Structure 1
Amino acid sequence: MAGIFNRFEWQIAGRYIRSRRREGVISLIAWASFLGIMIGVATLIIVMAVMNGFRADLLERILGVGGHAVVRPYGGAFQSQKEVVDRLVQLDGVQRVTPVLEAQVMVSVGTTARGAILRGVDKALIPQLPVLTDNKVLGDLSRVGEIENTTPGIAIGQRMAEIYGLEIGMPLSLIAPKGAKTPFGTAPRVRQYSVESIFEVGLSDYDATFIYTDMDTVSALTGTSTDMAALEIVVAQPDKIQDLRPAIDRAVGEAGWVRDWQQTNAALSGALKVERNVMFLILTMILLVASLNIVSGLVMLVKDKSRDIAILRTMGMKRGAILRIFFITGASIGVIGTLVGVIVGVVFCQNIEAIRQLITTLIGTELFPSEIYFLNELPAKIIVEDVVMVAGLSLALSFLSTLYPSWRAASLAPVEVLRND
């Protein structure tokens, strides 16, 4: 920068920025430009961080239930499930592979009956399953899958417990559509189970639909073999699942087909991305308006300082130097506004929950109530690339906004200005 802009140019530009006593309107526009850029940058960073937090939190809840990739067997059952599991767990980046036997059932309590999804895992893994251990509300997970008085224990979602009025130790009946064949057709299987644990994932559909127990219990109710269980894969970096897909596909081979979370939740992930991009474009308008303020402020400054420009030109200053002086004047507003905006945005994101609680206290109204948004606190995830992109966009708009006024100042004819003065 020192080679492009010399010290004398910086001194004059600094004088134009600081001396605003006589130019009240110009000073007001300069302050409006600074505040507009600062608020625009801070708002963009905050909104993008909150949307990143929402996305990460939502996907974490969804993926916590179904894993990051699922392997389903060809032909309905694995020929050698253990061999496939062993090959998968040896892959770099794969943290856990869990066989899950899943079936659609009907829940019946009293006169109320609704559909549900029954998921069975190995009995020894139930107390270690993150979807249950991280979200447990009531009960004892060690009793899930245990058979007491011929009644197996199950874990249900908080929403399902509310719908049926269930508590720990209360019974419910599960009905599987495929049962014993009789002369009158297929009779559904009906078994009674005991609620031993209640969990809350935080997504209404999941908490109202999913039931967990051990794999043998699901097999006994549905009449399906445990070899028909799907394999749920959990990886260390879910966002980079596509990098692992070739290795996973090779490990599975012809035993089954793989579907990762990006394919399963393509519509949701796409909707979140579109919403994020649209919000970015809308909020960019704040920066655009602030940049236009820089244009108007510099144009007025050029008109006010036209006599000074003419004198400098007659003293031998070149057009390039005049252009650089006004470029520095306008760009300084953008640079300072951008830096302050970045600081304000990052600090706000780091303390967003405390700020939310303060606003809630002041206005007496709950912001983002948990019963609607299923969030205990407002998430904000700052991504460095987003901050750099916002800052770069702000600086680019600020620099572009100074070009026309600076060119206009450099194009003034000294003779004409002094003659008309």
Structure 2
Amino acid sequence: MFGAFERAVALRYLRARKGERFVSIIAIFSLVGIALGVATLIIVMAVMNGFRQDLIGRIIGLNGHLIVQPASGNRLPDHAGLVARLRALPGLTQVAPIVEGQLLVTSEAGGAAGALVRGIAPADLRARTTIAFSLRRGTLDDFKDQDALVMGQRLAIRMGVRVGDRVSLVLPQARGSDFTAAPKLRSFQVVALFDVGMPEYDNRHLFIPLAAAQDFFGLGDAVSQVEILVADPTQVRGVTEAVRAAIGAQPLRIADWQDTNSTMYAAVVVERNVMFLILTMIILVAAFNIISSLIMLVKDKGRDIAILRTMGATRGAVLRIFLLCGGSVGCGGTLIGFALGLSVCLNFENLRAAILALRGTPFFSQELLFIVQLPAVVDPREVVQVLVMGLALSLLATIYPSWRAARIDPAQALRHG
């Protein structure tokens, strides 16, 4: 497409000579601007992907990807057959019956707080990696006795509770045999503390064995709901139909994590899209700089263009010369930004450790400490999208100045040059 003559002239025009350094400096700034814009966009999108993945993992790690609940009331009787049918479905990693309820928890140190207690089988709790990997004290191996309890570390600190201490769960809604209000109270021993990094969970969640929860809430063999974990949480909508078919005509309601956390999920998606749009403006501004530098180059080289035309260069040759000039700056900057962005993402852990070491003290509050630990998740499709967008904008920015250069009349240029 580009001949040796056109490449040689374009290279000569890009070189800074005495009296022409200003145009070259603008071209260098354009290259740096596009490189920084592309690199920043790749890095920020990777960090946003890590933020979304980490946040969703923390949320659904405690609540499950799919929840099967009674259409009315809070009792799901005869759940054993339903659990067996669901466990036979492909793509499901866990099917766990759950008992859930609100109550008051008190400690011997005098602390008291409202909490959300969840009854779950010990094997199912140990399989929840979000809890297993976030233990700060104790071990889930001790979560086997009927009086065992696992609680959030922030709640434990607030109540002055440590592993081995006993706490009391108080259920105000219980009723006695004479139909008078009678709170129900039961003592449990704290065997482990967890900290998933989200105060709304660490401050109010408790886990007790499923059988103990059924007895405490008076449900007998019934449960409150069945939670399902799937292999790929992003494809949960496709699994919902298979779960619905397995349920059959039972009056049950199915909700996935996107429905139950719709506000937070929508906020993350909107923030990510807005960030992409804002950072794209950086590349767009750099592309306008290419237009400015090329227009100045065409104006500066008007006499040279006229001489080339009189020597036999065609309009197409002049057009390709300036396309090559602008394309070299834009595409070169895009490729440099691509390499820089990927290098930062691939070495994100080392860079973060170096920044924290230089800082010396954490610059995030304890509630937002998990942000410092975010991974950079590179999505190849997004990287290709950014790369194509950078190359396209760079090439589009060269079209008008190159067309103006090709339209220069040699006689007029030599007469007024």
Query: Which category of TM-score, normalised to the shorter sequence, fits these structures?
Result: over 0.9
Residues 81-100 of structure 1 mapped to structure 2, 5 A cutoff: 81-100=79-98
Cα offset for 1:349? 1.1
C-alpha distance 17-368 of structure 1, shift in aligned 2 (>3 A): farther
Contact 1:292–1:401 under 8 Å retained in 2:
yes
Contact 2:295–2:401 under 8 Å retained in 1:
yes
C-alpha distance 203-45 of structure 1, shift in aligned 2 (>3 A): same
Contact 2:319–2:403 under 8 Å retained in 1:
yes
Which residue number corresponds to residue 326 of structure 2? 330
Q: Which amino acid aligns with 2:121?
A: D
Q: Aligned partners of 1:334 and 1:370: how far apart in 2?
A: 43
| SS at structure 2 position matched to 1:258 | strand
Q: Which amino acid aligns with 2:219?
A: T
Contact 2:111–2:160 under 8 Å retained in 1:
no
Q: Aligned partners of 2:261 and 2:17: how far apart in 1?
A: 56
Which residue number corresponds to residue 30 of structure 1? 27
Q: Aligned partners of 2:89 and 2:18: how far apart in 1?
A: 69
Q: 1:262 aligns with which of 249, 252, 258?
A: 258
Q: Which amino acid aligns with 1:386?
A: E
Q: Aligned partners of 1:345 and 1:79: how far apart in 2?
A: 54
Q: Which amino acid aligns with 1:360?
A: L
Which residue number corresponds to residue 146 of structure 1? 145
1:44 equivalent in alignment to 2:41: yes
User: Is there any run of 5+ residues in structure 1 with no aligned partner, and where?
Assistant: none
Q: 1:403 aligns with which of 386, 391, 399?
A: 399
Q: Which amino acid aligns with 2:36?
A: I
Contact 1:73–1:230 under 8 Å retained in 2:
yes
Q: Aligned partners of 1:370 and 1:325: how far apart in 2?
A: 57
| SS at structure 2 position matched to 1:185 | coil
CA RMSD of aligned residues (A): 1.9
| SS at structure 2 position matched to 1:211 | strand
Q: Which moved more, 1:318-327 or 1:354-363?
A: 354-363
Residues 97-176 of structure 1 mapped to structure 2, 5 A cutoff: 97-109=95-107, 110-147=109-146, 152-176=147-171
| SS at structure 1 position matched to 2:203 | helix
Q: Aligned partners of 1:403 and 1:131: how far apart in 2?
A: 53
| SS at structure 1 position matched to 2:103 | strand
TM-score, normalised to structure 2, is 0.94
1:14 equivalent in alignment to 2:11: yes
Which residue number corresponds to residue 249 of structure 1? 244
User: Is there any run of 5+ residues in structure 2 with no aligned partner, and where?
Assistant: none
Residues 221-232 of structure 1 mapped to structure 2, 5 A cutoff: 221-232=216-227
Contact 1:53–1:380 under 8 Å retained in 2:
yes
Cα offset for 1:180? 2.6
Q: Aligned partners of 1:220 and 1:83: how far apart in 2?
A: 21
Cα offset for 1:112? 3.1
C-alpha distance 382-367 of structure 1, shift in aligned 2 (>3 A): farther
Q: Which amino acid aligns with 1:108?
A: T
C-alpha distance 134-378 of structure 1, shift in aligned 2 (>3 A): closer
| SS at structure 2 position matched to 1:310 | helix
Which residue number corresponds to residue 197 of structure 1? 192
C-alpha distance 220-86 of structure 1, shift in aligned 2 (>3 A): closer
Q: Which amino acid aligns with 1:62?
A: I
Q: Aligned partners of 2:54 and 2:305: how far apart in 1?
A: 57
Deviations 1:322-364 (A, max 9, x none): 1111011101111111111011011111112321232233344
Q: Which amino acid aligns with 2:206?
A: I
Cα offset for 1:26? 0.7
| SS at structure 2 position matched to 1:254 | coil
| SS at structure 2 position matched to 1:228 | coil
Q: Which moved more, 1:183-192 or 1:193-202?
A: 183-192
C-alpha distance 141-361 of structure 1, shift in aligned 2 (>3 A): closer
Q: Which amino acid aligns with 1:176?
A: L
Identity %: 43
Which residue number corresponds to residue 201 of structure 2? 206
Q: Which amino acid aligns with 2:285?
A: V
C-alpha distance 36-236 of structure 1, shift in aligned 2 (>3 A): same
Cα offset for 1:117? 0.9
Cα offset for 1:190? 1.1
Q: Which amino acid aligns with 1:355?
A: L
1:187 equivalent in alignment to 2:182: yes
Contact 1:67–1:233 under 8 Å retained in 2:
yes
Contact 1:342–1:391 under 8 Å retained in 2:
yes
Q: Aligned partners of 1:11 and 1:408: how far apart in 2?
A: 20
| SS at structure 1 position matched to 2:377 | coil
Contact 2:94–2:228 under 8 Å retained in 1:
yes
Which residue number corresponds to residue 213 of structure 2? 218
C-alpha distance 78-216 of structure 1, shift in aligned 2 (>3 A): same
Cα offset for 1:367? 4.3
TM-score, normalised to structure 1, is 0.93
